[in-house]
Amino acid sequence: MLIPDNDSASISIGIRTIWAKIALFFSIFVVIVLFVVTFTYGSLLQTAIEYKDLQGNYQILLSEREKIRDIVHDLQKLKNYKSQITNTLAGYVNVKKLAMDTSAIESPIDAYSTQVKDDLGNAVFANAFFPTHAPLDGFISRKFELIGGDYDHFGIDIAATLDTPVRAAGRGVVIFSGWTKDFGNTVIILHRNGFHTHYSHFAEIMVKNGDEVSPSTVIGTTGSTGQRSSGVHLHFEMWRDDVPLNPQKMILSFNNEE
């Protein structure tokens, strides 16, 4: 009933019971739909948030897995570096890599040195990252000798006056810098593609472990330290993995010294 605030007659409106029930049921239905929609949307929103978090966690796991793989790879590299240093200082040769006749050990080594150089190619091999530069100009007083006995000589000796600067044979990283009983003050440099070079009998070492060097870097000065030295000279070795290479076969400026 509508009662106006003036003298007009009142108005009565009647609603049938059936329509009232329909209106009530419709209202309940709307409320239920709104509740279901709200609950479903909330669940979907929560699921979407959790999925996004899972994606983020998955990416983190992938990143961590890559880090772990890199760490394992670095550990393996460190083991290889340790093996290379040990083999170089101990004079161990992995003859299995050469498939050589033990009765003629020198010729296959020279052939292997030449093969390594040919495989890399002149253009690539001339790159400063590879040990292709003579560390010192001088007379070769003892050549590379590998005869399978106590008198093996895995590198060359270059005669020089005391305190002559010695430079790296190529770009690389110093993986050993210190004193050894036989070789005295020694530096070992790791280069690319499995190469490492060995410099011994320094009077003074000018680099430390982890230093990056280039062919212009002075790594030490010539001397006569260590039990294997009887005079001032540089003992220079070049290795690829566990195999010594003949420096006179690998470095152009030494080719005419044979």
- For range 232-256, the mean pLDDT: 84
184, with CB counted inside 10 A (0-12, 13-18, 19+), is: buried
Q: Domains in the chain: how many in total?
A: 2
Among 52, 70, 90, where does a domain finish? Answer: 90
Position 104, amino acid:
A
Specify whether 227 is located in the same domain as 115: yes
Specify whether 49 is located in the same domain as 163: no
Over the range 21-36, which residues count as b (16 or more CB within 10 Å of their CB) and which as e? eeeeeeeeeeeeeeee
Q: Which domain holds residue 218?
A: 95-257
User: Is there a contact between 220 and 205 (Cβ–Cβ < 8 Å)?
Assistant: yes
Name the nearest CA neighbour of 254 among 134, 153, 159. 134
φ, ψ (nearest 5 deg) of residue 118: -65, -40
Specify whether 105 is located in the same domain as 221: yes
CA distance 85 to 186: 11
State residue 101's pLDDT score. 41
Looking at the DSSP assignment, which residues form a beta bridge with residue 48?
A: none
CA distance 113 to 168: 19
Specify whether 65 is located in the same domain as 107: no
- For range 61-75, the mean pLDDT: 75
User: Is there a contact between 110 and 249 (Cβ–Cβ < 8 Å)?
Assistant: yes
Q: What string of DSSP letters covers 168-186?
A: -SSSEEEEEEEEETTTEEE
Structure tokens at 187: 């530096």
User: Is there a contact between 12 and 1 (Cβ–Cβ < 8 Å)?
Assistant: yes
Among 90, 113, 135, where does a domain finish? Answer: 90
Looking at the DSSP assignment, which residues form a beta bridge with residue 174?
A: 189
Which percentage of the chain shows pLDDT scores above 90?
28
Among 35, 63, 90, where does a domain finish? Answer: 90
State residue 99's pLDDT score. 47
* pTM, two decimal places: 0.64
pLDDT tens-digit readout, 155-170: 999 999 999 999 999 9
Specify whether 81 is located in the same domain as 142: no
Confidence of residue 105 (pLDDT cuts 50, 70, 90): very low
